[in-house]
Amino acid sequence: MLARIWQIMIKEFIQFRRDRLLTLFLLTFPALQLILVARVAGSDIVNLPLALLDQDKSQVSRGIGQALDNAPELALYYVPTSLAELEQLFDQGRATIGIVIPPGFAAGLAEANSSPQIQIIADGSNTYAGRAGLSTAEGVINTYLYRFLSHSSSARLAASQYASTLVPLLELKTTTRFNQTLNRHYYTIPAQFAFIVYQVTVVVAALGLVRERELGTLEQLIVTPVRRIELLSGKAIPAVIIGLVEFMGMFLIMLGLFHLPMRGSWGLLLLLSTLFIIAEVNWGMMVSALARTQQQAILIIFPLAMTELSLSGYLVPVENMPLGLRLMANFSPIQHYIIILRSIMLKGANLAALWPHVLALILLAAGVVYLSQRNLARRFE
Amino acid sequence: MLVSRVLAVAIKEVRHIMRNLLTLFLVTVSPAFLLFTLAYVFSFDIDQARLAVIDLDKSQIARAYLTGLTSGGSLSITAFVDDYSALDKLLVAGGVDAALVIPPGFGEALQNQALAQVQVIVDGSNLNVARQTMSKISAASRTVVAGMQPGLPEVPLPFELRSLAWYNATLKSLFSMVPGLLGVVLSLPALALSLSLTREKELGTLEGLMATPIQGAEYLLGKMSAYLLMGSGSVLLSWLVAVAWFRVPFRGEMGILMLLTLTYLLASMGFSLFISTWISSQQTAMFTVMMVFFVPSFFLTGLMHPINREALGAVLVSSALPATHYIIIARGVFLKGANLATLAWPGLVLLGMGLIALFVSIGSFKKRLG
């Protein structure tokens, strides 16, 4: 039995070698994607395009513009001269934040009974950037004006009543555990990595069987003495091996290029990653058995993979999803794997802390293996 | 080039898709289905952040502070612990988003109008949650402490800052994400096209086609037209999901949306056409499209993370992806009620991309064996 499995494995590897392009892609794309996405997405909220409609043109308003530009999160790109121009910039999606300083602002500051207003406008069509931009702009303008006012010799400030509004009574000393610099990479790269391993494994596994069926070579295999279980194992194992190779390659990239910490146990990580890969390979093979053509297999896998991906907490924390989706998310192996990966790498978590997720992975893997064995047995002919 | 031949290929293609109900379903309905799932997941406004608290002061003021923090509804205290090691365990296990430590002397300091301090420890392994938690804590703290100050005489503030969000006043992330995700989801028809092309190569039916008088250009155009048609169907379905189910406001015109979406489909299909002329197996096609277009389009297109215009690499890569331009279009038509003139630039970019990709594909398509 083992000999036949070995023969099938060799056949798979030979076929891989024949498709040079695929092998090249399999080896390089994941690494490239990891590097590209990490590099490019790494900067997060930086240089948000800002439009300043300065209708006051005083020293104060110019100072505000300068302060805003100096903030790393904002960049003064546009200086419209009318509200209509500002609207156009927003409609076209060019500006994310807009500041409107009305005429007479500086004069109003100096007067005792007036509270001149500055408008801070965010492009609500991108809530992520909009929120960040709003709070940054508020902070910058607040700080600048308070500093300006406290240095100013205007009579208004002589009143000691303002002293207490200018001095904060409560100071929050914040430290961030596990991710000292709130480095974006610490957060996205482990998740990206998990996803790529998942992609490679599922693609390879899913298309293995259905390809043979579509091209007609499956018939020939059935006629040979190779038994069902041997064929399936022979196809699954190379997929697992490829998954592990990708895993190790990209793990090295994560550590070497991005200097991500590895605070936990290597052995544990390797073991759990293998478990994860096996679960995914089996899932892929199950889809492979259900579809009649590769096109079908792909069009089934794609939305399902994307759904599983979204439920996995890859981009969006699971805690924020509605209850129904949160429950469903527990059935996604990649969700548990991402948590395990992050915890081991960033927090140095051990088995004791991770056991619910490990258990979930084991159960899911076992479940999928069982289901796929039953399905494949029936669907073979 | 004969239009009749292009039509013939297109009709053949449509027949192929229709023949297999599952495939038809997958090509037209799966984008809408995907939009449905992804949208729920991407409404990531945290409702409540969970806190663990060590109260070393145990004064009435400290308790009032804590009560005030949670009264807003954006924070909830899920655990009171006595020491740092218990706190540590909670943070490592992920049971809380942040921890507050109120030092002894807190109440006294606040009473005497001296500077009081509170230590906040945030779980940094999930950046999104960490940021929102921190801002919730600082906002709530400011409000609570301001309310505790002895009353000030009624003097107007020196200035006022008024913040508002255009197009989406409550900054509801669902409204931002659904139009954006439309771009991601509508790359599925392009995937289907590339699969169809590589399939004919793999199964050998391409040989048969080459024996006919059909020219390379007619073949490619015919295939693309069929999938453009199917793609438009999926656009309508997705639009329906967005407007009827998610109730995303639609302030623009349907005609403009359809027209500009067609240019997007043209661009993405042009790209997949180009890729497919070099690929000989469906497996590789899927892998390539997934890696090169689908996944990057979550990060590199300004869907969530804005594109940093100072970083040349980011600008180049995002401009090369059709989805980047379409996201501006989709958000423009849905939320901003933008007209054709405003969206002319991204529309033209997409049209240009599509035509160039089409021409290059036709040029490199060799009607030969092997």
pLDDT at A161: 41
B47 to A108: CB separation less than 8 angstroms, yes or no? no
Round the average pLDDT of chain A to a whole number and report it: 79
pLDDT < 50 positions in chain B = 152-154
- CATH code, domain carrying B104: 3.40.1710.10
In the predicted structure, residue A44 carries a pLDDT above the cut 80: no
Question: Cβ contacts (< 8 Å) between A125 and chain B: which residues?
Answer: 167-168, 175-176, 179, 331-332, 335-336
In a domain, B154, yes or no: no
Any domain includes B156: no
Task: Return the pLDDT at A79.
Answer: 94
The reply to whether B66 and B202 lie within a common domain is no
| Alpha helices (runs of H) in chain B, residue ranges in sequence order | 3-19, 21-42, 60-71, 84-93, 106-111, 127-148, 173-185, 188-203, 205-210, 216-240, 254-278, 282-289, 296-299, 312-320, 322-331, 344-364
Query: Do residues B119 and B258 both lie within one domain?
Result: no
pLDDT at A354: 81
Beta-carbon separation of B47 and A320 below 8 A: yes
Q: What is the DSSP letter of A118?
A: E
In a domain, B195, yes or no: yes
Say if residue B35 is in the same domain as residue B129. Answer: no
b/e code B35-60 from CB counts within 10 Å (16+ = b): bbbbbbbbbbebebbbbbbbbebebe
Question: What confidence score (pLDDT) does residue B236 get?
Answer: 94
B245 and B182, same structural domain? yes
Q: Looking at the domain assignment, is residue B20 inside a domain?
A: yes
The pLDDT score that the predictor gives to residue A378 is: 57
More confident residue, B348 or A372: B348
Decide if B54 touches A, using CB distance below 8 A.
no
Same-domain status, B109 and B54: yes
Among the listed residues B76, B75, B64, the one whose alpha carbon sits nearest the alpha carbon of residue B149: B64
Interface A-B, measured as beta-carbon pairs within 8 A, has a size of 369
Q: Are residues B323 and B210 in the same domain?
A: yes
Average pLDDT estimate for A307-321: 66
How would you classify residue A309: left for phi > 0, otherwise alpha for psi between -120 and 50, otherwise beta? alpha
- Same domain for B53 and B34, yes or no, is no
Q: What pLDDT does residue B146 have? A: 66
Q: How far apart are CA A194 and CA A238, in angstroms?
A: 19
Contact B120 A339 (CB under 8 A): no
CB contact under 8 A, B203 and A214: yes
Question: Is B110 part of a structural domain of the chain?
Answer: yes
Residues B118 and B63 in one domain: yes
Region class of B43: left (phi > 0), else alpha (psi between -120 and 50), else beta:
beta
Bridge partners of A175?
B121
Whether residue B163 is contained in a domain is answered as no
Q: Give the count of domains, chain B.
A: 2
Does residue B359 share a domain with residue B262? yes
A241 confidence band (pLDDT: 50, 70, 90): confident
**pLDDT winner (highest mean) among A34-43, A322-331, B281-290:** B281-290
| pLDDT band at residue A90 using 50, 70 and 90 as cut-offs | very high
Test the B interface: residue of A26, A92, A197, A338 with most B CBs within 10 Å: A92
Q: Out of A104-118, A161-175, B85-99, pick the least confident.
A: A161-175
A305 to chain B: nearest residue by CA?
Answer: B34
Query: 3-class SS at B226?
Result: helix
- B34 CB within 8 Å of a chain A CB: yes
Residue B36 in domain: yes
Checking if the pLDDT of A41 tops 60, the result is no
B302 and B201 in a single domain? The answer is yes
pLDDT of A167 strictly over 50: no
Regarding whether B333 and B216 lie in a shared domain, the answer is yes
Contacts of B293 (CB under 8 A, 6+ apart): B187, B190, B268, B271, B272, B321, B323
Return the percentage of chain A with pLDDT > 70, whole number.
82
Say yes or no for a CB contact (<8 Å) between A302 and B188.
yes
Contact B166 A121 (CB under 8 A): yes
Least confident of A111-120, A156-165, A357-366: A156-165
In this predicted model, which residue has the larger pLDDT, B121 or A379? B121
Reported confidence tier of residue A209, pLDDT bands at 50, 70, 90: confident
Q: Is B159 contained in some domain?
A: no
Of A22, A113, A302, the CB nearest to B191: A302
Mean pLDDT over A314-325 rounds to 64
pLDDT on residue A75: 92
Confidence grade of residue A376 (pLDDT, cut at 50, 70, 90):
low
Chain B nearest C-alpha distance from A193 (Å)? 12
Decide which of A183 and A301 is more confident: A301
Q: Could you say which residues from 270 to 309 on chain B have a Cβ atom under 8 Å away from some Cβ of chain A?
A: 278-284, 286-288, 290-292, 294-296, 298-300, 302, 304-306, 308-309
Better-predicted residue by pLDDT, A181 or B297: B297
- Same domain flag for B191 and B126: no
Instruction: Please report the pLDDT score of residue B153 as a whole number.
Output: 47
Range of the domain at B107: 49-148
